[in-house]
Structure 1
Amino acid sequence: TTYISWNINGINHPIKRKRILNFLSSHRAQVALLQETHLTQIEHEKLRKGWVGKCFYSSYSSKARGVAILIKKNSPFRFISQSTDSNGRYIIVHGRWGSRPITLVSVYAPNIDDPLMVQNLFLRLAQYPSPWIIGGDFNCPLDTVMDRSSSTLAPCSHMAQTIVNSMGECNLTDIWRHLHPKTREYSHYSHTHKSLSQIDLFLISSSLIHCVQDCNFLPRYISDYSPVCVRLEASVDLQSSYRWRFDSQLLAREDSIGEIKAAIQEFFHFNNSRSSPPDIVWEAFKATIRGKVIALSSAHKKAFQQQTIDLERGLRGAETELYKNNSPENRGRVASLQHELNMLSSSRAERAMLRSRSRFYARGDKPGKMLAWQLRREEASRLIPSIRLPDGTLSFSPGVVNETFCNYYATLYSTQWGEGGLRGPMTSFLDGVKIPEISEEVRAQMGAPLSILEIEGAIDSLQKGKGGGKE
């Protein structure tokens, strides 16, 4: 299971929002803890698209603060309760991941020394059971020597001391520092002070340390902050079925069109309808051309991913050199690589939004698959993570859940009519029902023809200008 914590520094612009979601998807995030969303309560719902199945958030305003927790579709997470901060500083979400309880927290601490906010967070968090996974921008280095690039010594802030004390009391571990005790690496670059610092933390319960596979910083180019990625061993791994779709981007590439045309000509050159029935040739052609399209699409996707990986690897190397020597040349190299990655991710986001706009233009006002999918998003998730069995026990096994539903509906729709079934209770119920009757006088009034006075009264009761007059 991949968890990513990231200060995205505002996500109001639709292109940046798409880039953020694409970045998280490309790194296979199943849970994303976001800070500084700068979205209102309603605008946070814009994050519930694409791979995002559940979205929990705490808002402040459209210009400041705001945190969110995004959970991937079909993840075995069952929501139980949540707690939010009225100032948009943190959100706590408690639930179950498969059969195990878990509490997720996204934090954006103030950029002033405010230990009271940290105390309030951990006091509220203490109400929820562990294990805890806390990710966020704490806006203060815990170690002023290892977590700052500046050579000037600075005292540890009161907020940092409160965080360290709370970690000891709650049995929490800074997992990145735990795995890299002697490494200098930073998550934030301040353009104002031309300095680097490590202020983005992943705090997890010590009981989860044995499940951690790795923890590292991802390339920093969309935001001023590096995403922090933690991978845990998955206790439950549910895979959804794959649905193949034609990659329409192939039709925009001349080389791809040429290869597809050549494949079609080659197929019908060796497989003509005179040697085989037409229906068999047609089915074989569809399978062949689909394989060709998949190969072309996969090749383009791998080339794009390799280009992104090479740029990200180069950016990580440039940042490492910058950590060692904060010179103008190193800063320029980092800025150049960040610009290339920004252009690459922006072009991908723009293409995706262009496809979305054209799809809405063509199908938005018509009943069809798009409307069905829009309505489906408003319904409950397809995944039923658990079910209570007839003996009162709670099962989280997908096989047991399916079998229980099958048995329930088989019993529900089985024939129960007969002397020992529903006949007796139904007859007794109907015999005891008193059906009201109307009198002969009322019946005569209801069956009488309409009078002139009744018609005039009905006309007078109509809205002015909406019907004819009495004449």
Structure 2
Amino acid sequence: MSSMNTIKFCTFNVKGIHHPIKRKKILSFLKKDKIQIAFLQETHLVAKEHIKLKRDWVGQAYYSSFSSNSRGVAILIHKATPFVLKACKKDPDGRHIIVHGTVYGVEITMTNTYAPSPPSCSFWTRVGTDLEEYKCPLTLLGGDFNCSLDHKLDRTPTDAHKANMGTSLVKMLDDVNLIDIWRTLNPSVRDFTFYSNPHNSYSRIDYFFIPPQITGQVNTCSIGSIHISDHAPVYLEMNICDVTASTRRWRFPSYILNDKDFKKKMEAELDLFFDINDNGETNPENLWESAKAYIRGFIISYMSHRKRTNFIKTQAIRAELNSVLNEKASTFLFYQKQRMYEYGNKPSKYLARLLNQKQTYNTIAGIRDSEGKRHFDRKNISSVFVSFYKSLNKSENKNAIQNITQTPLYTTAEEQAGPRLSSLY
């Protein structure tokens, strides 16, 4: 039986945390709610300022920056959560970030999105393409999507003009096979995550999307109150356990219709197929079924070739980036050595900053017991340590305790003096 561990997620549009007071207020709020993984949108922080989020309860921080007054997304992970990073993909426009790794030994992909207003079809195409690259059985898509999926239930007052804004999002979710977990658990409830003061309207535009096969792992999904920001936080609490990848039916990746090269090749392949197989006597139903199978094979082959081509391009870009980072790192180390030479033995601000940066965490995220079973809960970890040191300090001589209890603590002066000379003869 697979082990399960509960994690509490939160997605929250913070509407800018550039000011240190608001940044502290948001982090304290998340800590009070016992959030283990937080998705933040509209952080309004540059890369250097995003690093400031890694303090207090935050052990890991992944972010995509744009400017100090717009966009920006971040994923914060509690220092006691045993997450191991495998890959991280950032959007250069500060709109979304994908973090892929393992938590409690289970593979997970987390995507934090801040969609433009109104969201464009090309944006959802880009998000869907990136999701397909890192998708796994435990995939979590959250954030501020700036559109409602159901204009009757998710908006008040109902705005017919904005009814079709979520169509492209629905199509993308269908392509990647994700569902709105809050609406699944609350089919007819009306609740909202955003208040627009200029329009005096409420809407639900902040979501968590998950694969339908892991719905049973969700404990709760709820919407908080609108008080710190003009958005309400959305909470998701679920059990993390091993998920067997289900074999779902093949779906046509509709986002490749924006690829002009694909459309040209598809038209040429269809013309070739019908020229060869349509002789006027073939049953139209059989001809169409054969055409669908042929199209599917062509699309799979095209997508595989496209992934290989993109992989080669990605490798070349990574090599260039690695060269730039190496040069930047060597320059940084040179200046760091110079600063250390000048200020290293003096009580200066430089020394104070170095000391403040050394934050050591003694938290043990996981441990194996004598039977090889893994434990992540703090109480279980303490029990394993207790049992280990009990067995370590336990004497293997069963008669040791009995001998100690039978040995008298005090002896007479005659016994201490030993045998007399007369007794030796």
- The two structures have a TM-score, normalised by structure 1, of 0.52
Distance 2:141 2:14 in 1: 17
SS at match of 2:215: helix
Give the structure 1 partner of residue 182 of structure 2: 176
Distance 1:59 1:135 in 2: 17
Give the structure 1 partner of residue 358 of structure 2: 375
Provide the aligned length of Structure 1 versus Structure 2: 266
CA change 1:27–1:169 in 2 (3 A) is: same
Give the structure 1 partner of residue 77 of structure 2: 71
Q: Does 1:133 align with 2:140?
A: yes
SS at match of 1:2: strand
1:109 aligned residue (91, 97, 115): 115
SS at match of 2:47: coil
Deviation for aligned residue 1:31: 0.2
Q: Give deviations 1:52-106, integer Å, cap 9, x for gaps.
A: 0000000000010000000001211111111010000000000001111000111
Distance 1:164 1:138 in 2: 11
Distance 2:350 2:69 in 1: 36
Q: Give deviations 1:20-72, integer Å, cap 9, x for gaps.
A: 00110111100000000000000001100100000000000001000000000
CA contact (8 A) 1:364 1:371 kept: no
Deviation for aligned residue 1:367: 9.0
Distance 2:226 2:70 in 1: 21
Report which stretch shifted further, 141-150 or 52-61.
Answer: 141-150
Distance 1:366 1:172 in 2: 49
SS at match of 1:15: helix
CA change 1:152–1:95 in 2 (3 A) is: closer
SS at match of 1:63: coil
Structure 1 runs (4+) greater than 4 angstroms displaced: 363-368, 370-373, 381-387, 394-399
Distance 2:350 2:183 in 1: 54
Give the structure 1 partner of residue 153 of structure 2: 146
CA contact (8 A) 2:151 2:158 kept: no
Q: Give deviations 1:251-300, integer Å, cap 9, x for gaps.
A: xxxxxxxxxxxxxxxxxxxxxxxxxxxxxxxxxxxxxxxxxxxxxxxxxx
CA change 1:60–1:18 in 2 (3 A) is: same
Q: Does 1:38 align with 2:21?
A: no
Distance 2:53 2:19 in 1: 12
Distance 1:141 1:40 in 2: 29
Deviation for aligned residue 1:375: 1.2
Q: Does 1:207 align with 2:190?
A: no
Q: Does 1:17 align with 2:28?
A: no
Q: Identity percentage over the alignment? A: 36
Q: Does 1:165 align with 2:171?
A: yes
Give the structure 2 partner of residue 122 of structure 1: 128
SS at match of 1:185: coil
CA contact (8 A) 2:106 2:240 kept: no
CA contact (8 A) 1:144 1:154 kept: no
CA contact (8 A) 1:186 1:197 kept: yes
CA contact (8 A) 1:2 1:31 kept: yes
Give the structure 2 partner of residue 224 of structure 1: 230
AA paired with 1:157? N
CA change 1:77–1:193 in 2 (3 A) is: same
Deviation for aligned residue 1:386: 8.9
Report matched runs for 1:53-92 at 5 Å: 53-92=59-98
Distance 1:367 1:144 in 2: 57
Distance 2:170 2:52 in 1: 36
Distance 1:365 1:40 in 2: 23
Deviation for aligned residue 1:374: 3.3
CA contact (8 A) 1:106 1:135 kept: yes
Deviation for aligned residue 1:150: 1.2
Deviation for aligned residue 1:216: 0.8
AA paired with 2:50? H
Which structure 2 residue ranges, 5 or more long, are not aligned? 1-6, 243-346, 389-425
Distance 2:90 2:102 in 1: 19
What is the root-mean-square deviation in Å for CA atoms of aligned residues?
A: 3.0
Distance 1:142 1:170 in 2: 16
Deviation for aligned residue 1:395: 8.9
Which structure 1 residue ranges, 5 or more long, are not aligned? 237-362, 388-393, 407-471
Report which stretch shifted further, 113-122 or 36-45.
Answer: 113-122
Give the structure 2 partner of residue 94 of structure 1: 100
